[in-house]
Structure 1
C-alpha cells in the first residue's frame, strides 16, 4: 500500500512547504552580520602602546609623556649609571639616527651672520656670495 500512492507532504513545525524553502547555496540572511577577520599586526599594536600618553612626575612637576619617551629616558639613565648594554644600544641608535644628519646630506651649509663674519672676516658677505655662486654653477 505504501508504494501504491504518493503520500501527501505534511506541513508543520520544522517542515516548511517545499516551495518556500531556501534554494541550495542561498543564505537565509544575505544582508546580515558579516564576520570581519582582522589579522593582528604586532607593529601597529606596539606603536599604539608606545604612543599612549601617561602623566608622570619629573623634578616635582607633572608632565604628560608618551610611553616611548619614558622608555628612552629610562634607557639613557641606565647607560649613565654604567649599564654597558644600554650604553651600546644608545650608541648604536645615535649612529643610525644622528650620523646621516651630522654628516650633512646636503652640499649647502646654513650659517648665521655671526658665524659667517667669524669664518670669513670683514668682507664676509662678498665671500659668501662667491661661494654660493660657485655652488650654483655647473661643474
Structure 2
C-alpha cells in the first residue's frame, strides 16, 4: 500500500493548483497565443496622417513630360503656376514661404556688419589688435 500512497502523492504534487500552478484545463495549449488578437494599434495623430498624405507620389506633367513627384512638391508647383499666372494670394504665399525658408543676401550682409561691430568693440576693449591701414592718401 505504500506504493499506491507514494504514487498518489506524486500525482497530487504535479496536479497541485495554486500560485504559479494554474489548472491544466485552463493552461494555454502548445502553439496557442495567450493574446490571439494582440495589442490594438494606437490611434494615429494628425501630424503623421498629414505627413503620409503629402509624401504620396502623384503624376504631374511638366514641360510635356510626365513624372512622379510627392504631393508636397506637386502642391508647390501648382502654387508657383498660380502665382506666375497673376493670382495675388498665391504670390503672397510663395513670397512668405521664400522668406521663411530661404535666407536673403541682405541678412547675410547684416551678419557681416554685426561681426565688424563686434570686432570694433573687442578692439576698443584692447582684447584684439586691428591691422594698421595706411591713410596717407598716396
TM-score, structure 1 normalization: 0.49
